[in-house]
Amino acid sequence: MRYLLMIYSQERAGGPPPEDIDGIKSAHCAVMTEASQKGVLLGVEGLKPTSMATSVRMKNGTPIITDGPFAETKEQLAGFYMMECKDLDEAIEWAKRIPTACKGADGCIEIRPIADLPRPV
Amino acid sequence: MHRDPAHRRPATPGLNVSVREAVESVFRAESGRIFAALIRISGSFDWSEEAMQEAFAAALASWPEHGIPQNAGAWITTTAHRKLIDYSRRQRTQKEKEDALRHERDVVSVPDDSAIEEIPMYLPDDRLRLIFTCCHPSLSREAQVALTLRTLGGLTTAEIAKAFLAPEATLAQRLVRAKRKIQEARIPYEVPPANRLRERLQPVQAVIYLIFNEGYTAASGNQLVRRDLCAEAIRLGRVLCELLPGEAENLGLLALMLLHDSRRDARMREGRLVTLEEQDRSTWDQGEIAEGLTVVESALHRGPPGPYQLQAAIAALHAQAPTPEETDWGQIAALYERLLASDPSPIVALNHAVSIAMNEGFETGLERIEKLEAELAQYYLYHAARADLLRRMNRWSEAEVAYRRALGLATNRIEQEFLQRRIQEMEIR
């Protein structure tokens, strides 16, 4: 069985407190190293903050593109695509094609750039 | 409004006035184009801003001694371009030093200097690229407006803050965030392909119209600043028409702004709002009307009109009526009906109802208006429009009640004063 482990945390302007950074980094590295050695790690990425997010929502067949993260409590995370695109417009074009409707209700695609974080060597 | 970069530094004593004026006029006329070219070359809003400021400062230092160059705009561009090359060289050296240590920080891609030197200086589409980037739908509307005024309009952060009655720090932060998002989420710096052009033109037109309305709405604030916002929006509207001449809605937007702007002097008298009906039509700007009519005419020949063209056509009918009584309300009502088909909003429906009242009779119009109550009960213009019809029907006390409800909902001081005057008129009936 494959599982998606999603990290939820509180964003702070300028990132986590400097004194916490090393601890967070080494803890991630430990998980990544061990999971990778055991062959269970399929992928891991950090996201840029929600201020970098763009939402694409279909409304009567027309895509509505807006600034900011997805923010509907009545909708739940249902899946994800990870794509290498040349720019945000290309990502938006893909997002428009991804169906979000479920049980007659429309959903939303949130596009978030992936941060280039260091990896354990 | 002063938007010359010279304004930001202490005046040089004895600085030649004509040099100052030359610098200012180059800035006004060409800063948008120069800035747009610099961004394409460097890929960085911040570098381009800095390079352009330095180039204008260099002009102030050099021109009094060496004379004003024949092609002053090109001089500024070349100087700014050289600054960009300097930055890029410096950054590269810095980067080489840091590379060994570099980790974690998201380094923005820096074009190397040889690439910068080879890129052509001007491309006709530069300003178009810039306006599409500034008005990208993944930026908030506030950010789109601020960026457009800052980059294409050449307004300072302080000037934008003043125009929108917002603290300067808020505006500055809004601009920083927007520029960061352009860079980090990689919003492209390009004219969208044909299949996406319509969709992407909408926010561009909306931003320009919003800038116009911000200047046109009789809110508080400096009258001169507001007038400048209207002029800026019209200028941007012209740029859009010039760059994308095939888009009829761009012409519609320009015509709409020109026709509204033609009534600018008539709509306020001694700080008081004057209704269209009561305006002194001899003070309407005939030059703007003539141009607006020509532009809307040429737009309407290009197929089924969009919402800006329809609104411009309505404004044109008002502009063509020598007296309020001669207004062609029948045609205005027909145009609102078409507008309603493409934009079925209750506000458009309200305007449609008012035009029906003026055309078919107050009773019919009032019935139409009152059908909108559920949707518009919290909107002051609904009550004001209803009150106005009741007034015309001599139902004074009902009119007064409706004016009072409008007054309770109006937020703009000038509009509140207008409603208070109407209430007083009703009281003495």
Provide the ipTM: 0.88
CB contact under 8 A, A118 and B143: no
Q: Does B142 touch chain A (CB under 8 A)?
A: no
pLDDT at A50: 92
Which residues 189-218 on chain B approach chain A with CB closer than 8 angstroms? 192, 196, 199
CB contact under 8 A, B103 and A118: yes
Q: Does A41 touch chain B (CB under 8 A)?
A: no
Q: Does A14 touch chain B (CB under 8 A)?
A: no
CB contact under 8 A, A65 and B137: yes
Q: For an interface test with A, which of B186, B191, B198, B204 has the most A Cβ atoms less than 10 Å from its Cβ?
A: B186
- Highest-confidence segment of A53-67, A81-95, B193-207: A81-95
Q: Does A22 touch chain B (CB under 8 A)?
A: no
CA distance B151 to B251: 23
- Nearest Cα of chain A lies from the Cα of B196 at a distance, in angstroms, of 10
Residue B344 has which token pair? 């079925």
pLDDT at B89: 87
Q: Does B421 touch chain A (CB under 8 A)?
A: no
- Name which of B143, B188, B199 is nearest A88 (Cβ-Cβ): B188
pLDDT at B119: 61
CB contact under 8 A, A118 and B188: no
CA distance B352 to B151: 38
Count of structural domains, chain A: 1
For residue A101, the domain's CATH number is 3.30.70.1060
Model pTM?
0.83
pLDDT at B360: 94
Cβ distance B29 to B74 under 8 Å? no
Residue A40 identity: V
Residue B153 has which token pair? 């309009």
- Name which of A63, A88, A116 is nearest B187 (Cβ-Cβ): A88
Q: Which chain A residue shows the shortest CA-CA distance from B142?
A: A67
CB contact under 8 A, A54 and B143: no
Give the single-character DSSP code of A111: E
Q: Does A92 touch chain B (CB under 8 A)?
A: yes
Q: Is residue A120, in this structure, part of any structural domain at all?
A: no
Q: Does A46 touch chain B (CB under 8 A)?
A: no
pLDDT at A82: 95
Q: Is residue A118, in this structure, part of any structural domain at all?
A: no
- Name which of B137, B181, B188 is nearest A51 (Cβ-Cβ): B181
% of chain A at pLDDT higher than 90: 60
Q: Does B186 touch chain A (CB under 8 A)?
A: yes
Q: For an interface test with A, which of B108, B138, B186, B202 has the most A Cβ atoms less than 10 Å from its Cβ?
A: B138
Which residue segment(s) compose the domain that A54 sits in?
2-113
Segments in chain B below pLDDT 70: 1-16, 98-124, 218-225
Residues of A in contact with B140 (CB under 8 A): 67-68
- Nearest Cα of chain A lies from the Cα of B47 at a distance, in angstroms, of 21
Q: Does A115 touch chain B (CB under 8 A)?
A: yes
CB contact under 8 A, A68 and B184: no
Cβ distance B232 to B152 under 8 Å? no
Q: Does A84 touch chain B (CB under 8 A)?
A: no
Q: Is residue A119, in this structure, part of any structural domain at all?
A: no
Q: Which chain A residue shows the shortest CA-CA distance from B177?
A: A51
Q: Is residue A67, in this structure, part of any structural domain at all?
A: yes
pLDDT at B104: 39
Cβ distance B149 to B171 under 8 Å? no
